[in-house]
């Protein structure tokens, strides 16, 4: 923290994230043949530096009033499906389901208020 004067403080920081996956998925030759890349790569070793800067300004008023703000780089969690798909799906097998409402009527009807 850096106190510029009695009213203004600056704070800074740096975060270093190193995502790691415990194991590698089993190599799937069919996936590699279909998509031209292996399915068993992980995000290990791809580190991210995230600098941050914030301020806190206290106004000289009868009521205690402060203005706070900040900026920085932040990394959120990766959607788990991105990491789990190579472990659970081969990327080739697909199942398709088709449902339609027959002209003669059927159990499916549209909701006119939706």
What is the domain partition of the chain in residue ranges?
A: 2-88
Residue 7 pLDDT: 93
Mean residue pLDDT across the chain: 81
Token pair listed for 30: 């069919």
More confident residue, 23 or 65: 65
pLDDT tens, 3-48? 999 999 999 999 998 877 777 788 888 888 888 888 887 776 778 8
Helix residue spans in 6-100 (DSSP H): 29-35, 80-88
How far are the Cα atoms of 7, 92, 95, 101 from residue 98, in angstroms, in the given order?
65, 19, 10, 10
Residue 48 pLDDT: 86
Three-state DSSP class for residue 87: helix
- Characterize 56-91 residue by residue with b for buried, 16 or more Cβ atoms within 10 angstroms of its Cβ, and e for exposed: beeeeeeeeeeeeeeeeeeeeeeeeeeeeebeeeee
Residue 109 pLDDT: 66
pLDDT (average), residues 90-108: 66
């Amino acid at each position: 923290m850096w106190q510029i004067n009695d009213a203004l403080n600056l704070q800074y920081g740096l975060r270093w994230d190193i995502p790691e996956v415990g194991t590698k998925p089993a190599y799937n030759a069919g996936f590699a043949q279909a998509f031209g890349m292996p399915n068993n790569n992980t995000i290990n070793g791809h580190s991210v530096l995230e600098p941050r800067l914030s301020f806190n300004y206290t106004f000289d008023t009868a009521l205690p009033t402060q203005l706070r703000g900040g900026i920085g780089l932040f990394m959120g969690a990766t959607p788990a499906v991105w990491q789990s798909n190579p472990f659970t799906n081969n990327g080739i097998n697909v199942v398709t389901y088709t449902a339609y409402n027959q002209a003669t009527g059927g159990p499916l009807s549209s909701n006119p208020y939706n």
